[in-house]
Amino acid sequence: MAKDVLCEVNSCKYWEKENHCAASSIYVVNNRNKQASNSGETDCKTFEPQL
């Protein structure tokens, strides 16, 4: 399991300084109906906008 999860999406409520993710778990899925072959073919379902 990853020791640190980094994220540059500072509009997410889980984003913390120095690009750390504060979510207790991360959920990533394919964004197409096929197996992902690169990062551009995935989506982070953990994302929630900051209020």
Q: Enumerate the domain spans of the chain.
A: 1-51
Secondary structure class of 31 (helix, strand, coil): coil
Instruction: Quickly count: other Cβ atoms within 10 Å of residue 15's Cβ.
Output: 19
Q: Please measure the distance between the N-terminal and C-terminal CA atoms of the chain and give it in whole angstroms.
A: 30
Average pLDDT over all residues of the chain: 93
What residue ranges of the chain have pLDDT lower than 50?
A: none
Strand pairing partners for 44? 28
Instruction: Convert the pLDDT of each residue in 34-45 to its tens digit.
Output: 899 999 999 999
